[in-house]
């Protein structure tokens, strides 16, 4: 696989927490490459380092050792300023707890990262209109056009997460990083979010999803399992097929 | 399959192809592999067992698709008994459990590796069903069946996690002792 086709690449990634005796390797020598347009799921018990890994890949934390490349640029050595700009432009985050601004409407929440990424004061008026239009399109895409003016408190958990997904996409990021995106959702809302992810991936969006839900992980192209900061299993889920759905319920084919 | 076909005839006498359509509608994507021949084979068996009778439309050449099937009194009784029955398919976990024990005892294979391979296989199945779930519009009766298959696979995957933990500890004990 050539380097340029990888949306995200990490090599020899290490992150330690704590000092001396209580020093813990949250991420321990991880190598990873996610090609553009792929969905990678990371599973593992709580405390295995999967969330820390996601934070390292998205530039929310800096590694103790190793390299992280996003969109062909090394990010672990960037200045804070450059790193913040990279996060705004290249990475969309979706969290279990949604993290919406309670005082802002759905539309305002979605357009917020676009406004923060706005370039100059002179362009502000124009970019504001563009952000509003893009927020509207994205809310329509996640099935919430009719609730664009609602505050988060007026939305269900599933709807809030869909707003958060729209917000993650507003700057057209190279990669979406999702940490337990369905952790607070019931089955129907989980399926809504997964359907949106599938559509986006079909359109070429790259994803890294951390989850403890097998049914979320099963929608990925590739699944890695983590224990004690290391990858212990790596499964390709695309490609080979099991020979017909009918076989799964004992019907002949 | 025999019981399900019989029960579908309880609504009204029916052609084989009509039964086939109804079954496929109920099963959704899981029923796509089922062909009409299987229905006719099942109906022929039920007929021999005296549970259905076959009425042929008069004056038409004899072809399977012309036949209309109806329940006999014995067939009706069998349907009633089937509805009241509380039997449930048992997943065969003992076989896999014994496979791990035998592999470990004879040092034929690492049980943890066997669990990992099994887990990958179940994840691929889960992915396939999950794709069908996501493709199915919400609220379809077939979606409910898919949901059941997903939940079962999830339960099996959780059991495999428990197997992996237990057999990893056995390894550690051996290495430590």
Residue of A226, A240, A167 lying closest to A41 (CA atoms):
A226
Q: How confident is the model at residue B122 (pLDDT cuts 50, 70, 90)?
A: very high
Helices B141-176 & B93-105 angle (0-180, nearest 10): 20
Q: How many CB pairs under 8 A join A and B?
A: 82
Distance from CA of A119 to the nearest CA of B (A): 39
Token readout for A120 is 């100059």
A240 CB neighbours in chain B (<8 A) are: 124
Buried b (16+ CB within 10 A) or exposed e, B16-50: bebbbeebbeebbbbbebbeeebbbebbeebbeee
Q: Which fold has domain A3-236?
A: Rossmann fold (3.40.50)
Which pLDDT value is given to residue A3?
47
Q: How confident is the model at residue B103 (pLDDT cuts 50, 70, 90)?
A: very high
| pLDDT greater than 70 at residue A110 | yes
Q: Do A214 and B126 touch (CB under 8 A)?
A: yes
Quick one: closest CA in B to A239, which residue? B124
Mark whether B73 and B112 lie in a shared domain: no
**Closest CB to A233 among B30, B116, B128:** B116
Mark whether B38 and B71 lie in a shared domain: yes
Mark whether B169 and B136 lie in a shared domain: yes
Q: Do A194 and B31 touch (CB under 8 A)?
A: no
**Closest CB to B125 among A220, A248, A252:** A248
Domain that includes residue B28, residue range: 2-84
Are the CB atoms for A215 and B126 separated by under 8 Å?
Answer: yes
Mark whether B68 and B34 lie in a shared domain: yes
A247-253 contacts: CB < 8 A, separation 24 or more?
A: A247/B33, A248/B30, A248/B125, A248/B128, A248/B129, A248/B149, A249/B27, A249/B30, A249/B145, A249/B149, A251/B1, A251/B27, A251/B30, A251/B31, A251/B33, A251/B34, A252/B33, A252/B34, A252/B38, A253/B33, A253/B34
Which pLDDT value is given to residue B74?
96
Which pLDDT value is given to residue B14?
92
Q: Mean pLDDT throughout A207-232?
A: 93
Domain boundary, last residue among B66, B84, B102: B84
- Pairing between β-strand A6-17 and β-strand A65-70 as defined by DSSP bridges: antiparallel
Total domain count, chain B: 2
Distance from CA of B59 to the nearest CA of A (A): 35
Distance from CA of B137 to the nearest CA of A (A): 11
Which pLDDT value is given to residue A124?
65
Which pLDDT value is given to residue B10?
93
| pLDDT greater than 70 at residue B134 | yes
Instruction: Tell me the CA distances in angstroms from B2 to A249, B36, B91, one per residue in order.
Output: 15, 14, 21
**For the CA atoms of chain B, what is the radius of gyration?**
23
Average pLDDT, chain B: 87
Mark whether B18 and B46 lie in a shared domain: yes
Which pLDDT value is given to residue A18?
85
Which pLDDT value is given to residue A30?
95
Three-class SS of residue A195?
helix
Which pLDDT value is given to residue B176?
47
* A233: enclosing H helix or E strand: strand A230-236
pLDDT digits (tens, 9 = 90+) for B48-86: 999 999 987 665 566 656 789 999 999 999 999 999 999
Mark whether B42 and B97 lie in a shared domain: no
Which pLDDT value is given to residue B59?
55
pTM (predicted TM-score): 0.83
Quick one: closest CA in B to A191, which residue? B134
Q: What ipTM score was computed for the predicted complex, to two decimals?
A: 0.81
Quick one: closest CA in B to A219, which residue? B127
Q: How confident is the model at residue A243 (pLDDT cuts 50, 70, 90)?
A: low
| pLDDT greater than 50 at residue A170 | yes
> Cα(B16)–Cα(A4) distance, rounded to whole angstroms?
57
Which pLDDT value is given to residue B83?
95
**Closest CB to B129 among A240, A248, A251:** A248
Q: Do A218 and B120 touch (CB under 8 A)?
A: no
Mark whether B143 and B113 lie in a shared domain: yes
Which pLDDT value is given to residue B58?
60
Q: Where are the domains of chain A?
A: 3-236
Which pLDDT value is given to residue B172?
64
B119 CB neighbours in chain A (<8 A) are: 233, 235
Which pLDDT value is given to residue A87?
92
Quick one: closest CA in A to B1, which residue? A251
Q: Mean pLDDT throughout B102-123?
A: 93
| pLDDT greater than 70 at residue B173 | no
Q: How confident is the model at residue A251 (pLDDT cuts 50, 70, 90)?
A: low
**Closest CB to B128 among A242, A249, A253:** A242
Are the CB atoms for A85 and A156 separated by under 8 Å?
Answer: no
**Across chain A, how many H-helices and E-strands are there?**
7, 10
* Percent of chain A surpassing pLDDT 70: 90
Which pLDDT value is given to residue A120?
53
Which pLDDT value is given to residue A188?
86
B38, B126, B159, best to mutate vs chain A, most A CBs in 10 Å? B126
Chain B interface residues (partner A, CB cutoff 8 A):
1, 27, 29-34, 38, 116, 119-121, 123-134, 138, 145, 147, 149-150, 153-154, 157-158
pLDDT digits (tens, 9 = 90+) for B34-50: 888 889 999 999 999 99
pLDDT digits (tens, 9 = 90+) for B20-32: 999 888 888 888 8
B116 CB neighbours in chain A (<8 A) are: 233
| pLDDT greater than 70 at residue B158 | yes
pLDDT digits (tens, 9 = 90+) for A111-139: 998 888 765 555 667 778 888 999 999 99
Question: H/E/C letters for each residue in A115-149?
Answer: HHCCCCCCCHHHHHHHHHHHHHHHHHHCCCHHHCC
CATH code, domain with B35: 1.10.10.10
Token readout for B22 is 């109804």
pLDDT digits (tens, 9 = 90+) for A190-200: 998 999 999 89
A136-139 contacts: CB < 8 A, separation 24 or more?
A: A136/A107, A138/A110, A138/A166, A138/A167, A138/A169, A138/A170, A139/A106, A139/A107, A139/A110, A139/A163, A139/A166
pLDDT digits (tens, 9 = 90+) for A44-97: 888 899 999 999 999 999 999 999 999 899 999 999 999 999 998 899 999 988
Mark whether B69 and B109 lie in a shared domain: no
Are the CB atoms for A16 and A28 separated by under 8 Å?
Answer: no
Half-sphere exposure of B157 (CA within 13 A, CB side): 23
Domain boundary, last residue among B84, B102, B124: B84
Which pLDDT value is given to residue A220?
94
Q: How confident is the model at residue A253 (pLDDT cuts 50, 70, 90)?
A: very low
């Amino acid at each position: 696989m050539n380097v340029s086709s990888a949306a995200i690449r990490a090599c020899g990634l290490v992150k330690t927490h704590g000092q001396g005796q209580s020093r813990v390797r949250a991420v321990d020598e991880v190598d990873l490459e996610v090609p553009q347009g792929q969905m990678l799921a990371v599973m593992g018990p709580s405390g295995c380092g999967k969330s820390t890994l996601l934070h390292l890949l998205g530039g929310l934390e800096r590694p103790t050792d190793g390299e992280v490349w996003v969109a062909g640029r090394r990010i672990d050595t960037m200045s804070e300023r450059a790193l913040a700009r990279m996060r705004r432009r290249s990475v969309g985050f979706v969290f279990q707890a949604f993290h919406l601004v309670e005082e802002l409407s759905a539309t305002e929440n979605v357009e917020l990262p676009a406004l923060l990424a706005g370039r100059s004061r002179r362009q502000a008026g124009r970019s504001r209109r563009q952000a509003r239009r893009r927020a509207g399109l994205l809310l329509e895409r996640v099935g919430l056009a009719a609730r664009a003016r609602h505050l988060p408190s007026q939305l269900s958990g599933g709807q809030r997460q869909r707003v958060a997904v729209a917000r993650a996409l507003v700057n057209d990021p190279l990669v979406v990083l999702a940490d337990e995106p369905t952790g607070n959702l019931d089955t129907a809302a989980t399926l809504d979010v997964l359907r949106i992810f599938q559509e986006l991936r079909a359109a070429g969006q790259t994803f890294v999803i951390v989850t403890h839900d097998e049914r979320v992980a099963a929608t990925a192209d590739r699944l890695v399992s983590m224990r004690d900061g290391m990858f212990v299993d790596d499964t390709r889920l695309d490609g080979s097929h099991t020979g017909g759905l009918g076989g799964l319920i004992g019907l002949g084919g | 399959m025999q019981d399900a076909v019989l029960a579908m005839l309880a609504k009204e006498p029916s052609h084989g192809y009509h039964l086939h359509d109804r079954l496929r509608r109920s099963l959704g994507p899981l029923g796509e592999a089922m062909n009409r021949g299987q229905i006719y084979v099942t109906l022929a068996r039920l007929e021999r067992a005296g549970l259905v009778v076959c009425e042929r439309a008069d004056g038409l050449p004899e072809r399977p698709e012309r036949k209309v099937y109806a329940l006999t009194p014995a067939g009706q009784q069998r349907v009633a008994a089937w509805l009241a029955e509380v039997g449930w398919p048992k997943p065969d976990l003992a076989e896999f459990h014994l496979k791990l024990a035998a592999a470990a005892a004879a040092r034929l294979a690492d049980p943890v590796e066997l669990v990992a391979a099994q887990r990958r296989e179940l994840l691929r199945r889960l992915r396939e069903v999950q794709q069908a779930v996501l493709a199915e519009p919400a609220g379809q009766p077939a979606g409910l069946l898919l949901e059941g298959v997903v939940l079962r696979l999830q339960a099996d995957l959780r059991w495999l996690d428990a197997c992996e933990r237990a057999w990893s500890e056995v390894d550690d004990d051996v290495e430590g002792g």
